[in-house]
Amino acid sequence: MDRPLEQILKKVQEEGSAAERNMLIEHYRPFILRTVSHVCKRQIGWNHDESSVGLIAFNEAIDRYNETLGKSFDNFAFMLIRNRLVDEFRKQGTIFRSESVIYDNIQDEFAQTALEIASSMEAYEREQAAFELAQELMLYDETLQEYGVSLEELEDYSPKHRDSRKQFIQMAKLFSGRADWVEILHTTKRLPMKEMLDFFKVSRKTLERNRKYLIALVLIYSSEEFERIRSTVSFADVGE
């Protein structure tokens, strides 16, 4: 495209330009297929039903995108396509490839497979539990992005040493018990560094280097929306 994306989107949304919409769709066709294939965990072509769901969701993204959402258009379109595919899988009563979803989107310290979670459940209950956990992980992913963190990069932020991970898990639990700190984090999207330095007696360099990992942990422990993740994930390898 030889013009800014925002300009083209505005023309489509305000003037209903079909030509501009078709140009956007044509430009993003590879993106749509890559996204659908990523969500489905297999190669998808335009002859598959899933690609039609992706195309409909992309059209919806064109109509609904607003830069004030704080997300790029590509990220917004990705999330919308993924959500619409999940809805479709649920309607069809299929398991949303839960094992792959969890392992692709969260590091080992943060997850068990859906089959392990629901090993004692009946088939329908397993599917429901897996779907609900996948939905919660998607919400968690969206929330993380508000703090400049993403699930895809989370493993890179994780301390490499077991003792360090254990230390930050304990810090996150203590942090979550401080309502004033949690409020600061939710409001400013930043950690209260000064208060934490006094309380935890760790160096500023250590906190700043592990800031994103700590935020990811605190969100799990302090948010009711992530109760399923909190009760599902296992930190057995780093202790309590």
Give pLDDT tens digits for 152-167.
777 777 888 888 888 8
Distance CA 41, CA 148 (A): 26
Place of tokens 């090993």: 119
Given a contact cutoff of 8 angstroms between Cβ atoms, the answer to whether 8 and 23 are in contact is yes
Closest CA to 62 of 127, 132, 5: 5
The pTM for the full model equals 0.47
- One-letter amino acid of 46: W
Q: What's the pLDDT band for 3 if we cut at 50, 70, 90?
A: confident
Between 48 and 232, whose confidence is greater? 48
Question: Which tokens in the block code for residue 21?
Answer: 């919409």
93-118 burial: b if 16+ Cβ within 10 Å, else e: eebbbbbbbbeebbbebbbbebeebb
- Please check the confidence at residue 123 and state whether its pLDDT lies above 70: no
